[in-house]
Structure 1
Amino acid sequence: MAELNTEAKLKKQLKQEKIQLWNPPYTDDQDGEPGRQHMQELAERYAPLLGLPVEEVGGALEAIRVQAVKRGKGNKTFRESNVATLELLLPRDGKKDPKTKNHLETRLDVLVQEVVDRIGDEYGLKYIKLILNGKTLSVDQRLDEQGVKNHSKMMVLKVSDAEWKQQLSEEEEKKKNQDESVQRTQKGFQILSERDGSEDPDSTPFLEIADQRGNPLKIPHEEKKALILAMGFHEKGRSLMKKKQFDNALFKQATQGPCSAPKPGMLDFVNKVKWEAWKSLGSISQDEARQQYCDLIGSLVAAEGGSSAQVSAQPAASGTTYETLLVTTEDDITTIKLNRPAKKNAITTEMYNEIIAALEQAAKDNSVITVFTGAGDFYCSGNDLTNFTKIPEGGVEQMARRGGDLLRKYVKAYIDFPKPLVAVVNGPAVGVSVTVLGLFDLVYATERASFHTPFTQLGQSAEGCSSYTFPRLMGGAKASEMLLFNKKLTAAQACQLGLVTEVFPDSSFQSEVWTRLKAYAKLPPNSLALSKQLIRSVEKQRLHSVNEAEVQSLVERWQSDECFNAVMSFFQAKSKL
């Protein structure tokens, strides 16, 4: 992990200085060998910047150079022969040599089924499926139609016999539905083609073929029927395909830039419509295409999710009202309730700012303890990913910087909070709502709660000081299962690992927890606050340092294509539900 982080920092520095390691003087044009003197000078210059030994920096630079040279050869092959090089992430039992990367050379205009067959034959895998950016590739579509590019990384997953049979059954059902749809369309156009306009046009519509001036053409009856049927199918197909392919075209413009692919042949109807949709976007920039794509997918997700209606917010003791929170003070307890139940309490940018304000308010009021909980069935579903669709004029870099500043301030509010902080987890918890639990003093959960941190799945990394608090609470291996490999914990598992203090039956959860909290609120407030500060003071500076490092890492992640593609894949999958 440290090596990858070093390489990422070096790549950023090389990019800023526009240094191309695959070109002279860093690589010899003839044999591809490194220019050792210049590589050594570069390592000596970068080592103090990274605070690392020259040998370690030199090794990382050489790894980047070798990778770049290999990639350059692949690009040359692709330009000359249109044969792409794909990296395959194989299951363990499919690897011939675990220490080497596995590559496949193929044209991108072939069906995925052909590639699946090749991989199965070469690596002895019976049933497999290919995953790109978290999305399963359809075997009946071409590679390039599904976003596969030269140097793409594809995950190869084995499929069980049962899953394979289910997949075949679903494909047969899909084909059956398509056939029925075609038959209905054909029947409709056949009925229209039989009409000649003698019926009442207001109640019985008909089609008429005319020339460019609008004069009806006299065509023999049978020929007219055939022509109307063909034209009807053609126009309906184009209309449906263009509507369907617009989001795909925006995605391509956002990730690859303006269309430079050759126009498909006249009889390649599907790819021709896709090409036209992409070509119609002209020369709009990738940033603008990203924003349009984000707006489109965001609107689809909003439409699918319905209204984000909230429970009417009641003012806290200070009289402050919030749009996304319910903040109340009663029995010496300030309760901050996340209040977007229709959106599973997903945290928007506005909500981040309101939580910070609510914590500042609770720190100064007369309450003894502060409680977090959620409205509805969810505790919190983590970040509202539409936050990533609001790209400012300054582009993705500005969005990432602003997001980093807000996250830094948000986590700091938890680290510095002076009173006992309690989480009453009333349902599933995801993402940042889970990671900050390591900064709470008590975490009570209902038995139906779950805890999930799918960061790497979305091309991101840990936050909320979880890279420090989770290993400290549950040990390194268990923390890695959550933070690296997206393992979801049940409430019982989270309690066993130390993330949750106690689990309660769902039927008595609220009554048991609040009875206990009201008793805690009667304890001497100054004694509670002082005791908490003594515990927190031991590691407070460490927590602030961890928060800063996590924010810096995330700002880099948010600007990466890997993160963008993962989040957009999430939106694409959600919009198709």
Structure 2
Amino acid sequence: MTTSDALLTEDADGVRTLTLNRPEAYNSLTVELKEQLLAALRAAAEDADVRAVVLTGTGKAFCAGQDLKEHVGLLQAKDPAPLHTVSEHYNPMIREITGMAKPVIAAVNGTAAGAGAALAYACDLRVAAESSSFLMAFANVGLGPDSGASWTLQRLIGYGRAAELMLLGRKVDAAEALRIGIVGDVVPDEELTAYVQTLAAKLAAGPTVAYSKIKHVLNVAAQSSLDGALDAEDAAQTALGGTADHAEAVEAFVGKRKPNFQGK
């Protein structure tokens, strides 16, 4: 495990776990933490030994979003930094998560609000602890959504529900998050870490090159016509048909054995 003041990084079984580590501040995002998380996401994307990524938090919160104390302090000091954090930090983080050629899982251990909730929405899979909740609180402080939430949330739950949660700033508990499609599973708090690590290890042992193409074609399809989606699928299948993982899967099927994927 590597440790910084604000972010913990641990590798096991091909899985890199990034843990936001400001529990006393509900893992709210200071400039320091945003810069560390962005660098960690980039490093995970580039490391061939990392085949799946988990994003989680310590304490009672997954991430409460922007650290408002720091934000207000900088604004009062006439520091322009808060005006650029979306372009310099939040947008690049979301692009790293959604564009990463490997699965990213959000293990939502508690409150996920604002940009913190948006980080979870951007992940490929979301597993929530029973005590967790989601809150789109931007309107409550006179702001609009950022960190890709306007794009990701409505693709998870539809325009109507996304608009309701953003306009009204209504908190969603874990049970409702599961019912409306924000998360894929809810587990007891004490089981979250083990459950997600098992899931992530399973993905890390899978055909990760195929996972990268699946993420790509889903993103293309979300923004294109049917013809565009068909073309993206065609290109992906052509490329994947020549991979070692596909050949291994075919050989394993014929040989009635479990495939040994290498992510190549």
TM range (shorter): 0.7 to 0.9
Shift in Å at residue 474 of structure 1? 1.4
- 2:136 matched to 1:441? no
Residues paired across the two proteins, number: 221
Distance across 1 between alignment mates of 2:98 and 2:52: 15
Mapping of 1:251-330 within 5 angstroms? 314-315=1-2, 322-330=4-12
Letter in 1 for 2:86: G
Of the candidates 191, 204, 212, which is equivalent to residue 521 of structure 1? Answer: 204
* C-alpha contact (below 8 Å) 1:392/1:399 kept by paired residues: no
Query: In terms of mean alpha carbon deviation, does 508-517 or 360-369 score higher?
Result: 508-517
Distance across 2 between alignment mates of 1:412 and 1:509: 26
Distance across 1 between alignment mates of 2:102 and 2:223: 14
- 2:48 matched to 1:348? no
- 2:87 matched to 1:405? yes
Change (3 A) 1:510 1:415: closer
Indicate the residue corresponding to 1:332 in structure 2.
14
- 2:214 matched to 1:531? yes
Change (3 A) 1:516 1:468: closer
Shift in Å at residue 400 of structure 1? 4.3
Of the candidates 2, 26, 51, which is equivalent to residue 368 of structure 1? Answer: 51
Shift in Å at residue 369 of structure 1? 0.5
Of the candidates 132, 136, 145, which is equivalent to residue 462 of structure 1? Answer: 145
Distance across 2 between alignment mates of 1:515 and 1:400: 38
Change (3 A) 1:415 1:517: closer
> SS at 1:503's partner residue?
strand
- 2:39 matched to 1:357? yes
Mapping of 1:206-225 within 5 angstroms? none
Change (3 A) 1:381 1:404: closer
Letter in 1 for 2:6: T
Distance across 1 between alignment mates of 2:81 and 2:186: 39
Change (3 A) 1:468 1:377: same
Unaligned runs of 5+ in 2: 225-264
Indicate the residue corresponding to 1:472 in structure 2.
155
* C-alpha contact (below 8 Å) 1:370/1:420 kept by paired residues: yes
- 2:115 matched to 1:432? yes
* C-alpha contact (below 8 Å) 1:415/1:540 kept by paired residues: no
Distance across 2 between alignment mates of 1:377 and 1:392: 29
* C-alpha contact (below 8 Å) 2:60/2:110 kept by paired residues: yes
* C-alpha contact (below 8 Å) 2:10/2:16 kept by paired residues: yes
Shift in Å at residue 392 of structure 1? 8.4
Change (3 A) 1:525 1:343: same
Q: From the two aligned structures, give the one with the greater strand fraction.
A: 2
Shift in Å at residue 460 of structure 1? 0.8
- 2:97 matched to 1:414? yes
Mapping of 1:93-132 within 5 angstroms? none
Unaligned runs of 5+ in 1: 1-313, 316-320, 542-577
Report the RMSD for the aligned CA atoms in angstroms: 2.1
> SS at 2:168's partner residue?
coil
Higher relative contact order (CA 8 A, sep 6+): 2
Mapping of 1:183-202 within 5 angstroms? none
> SS at 2:62's partner residue?
coil
Distance across 1 between alignment mates of 2:18 and 2:223: 23
The structure number with the bigger radius of gyration is: 1
* C-alpha contact (below 8 Å) 2:64/2:113 kept by paired residues: yes
Distance across 1 between alignment mates of 2:155 and 2:64: 24
Identity, % of aligned positions: 29
Of the candidates 468, 492, 496, which is equivalent to residue 175 of structure 2? Answer: 492
- Kindly provide the CA deviation profile for residues 255-274 of structure 1, in whole angstroms up to 9, marking residues without a partner as x: xxxxxxxxxxxxxxxxxxxx
Letter in 2 for 1:493: E
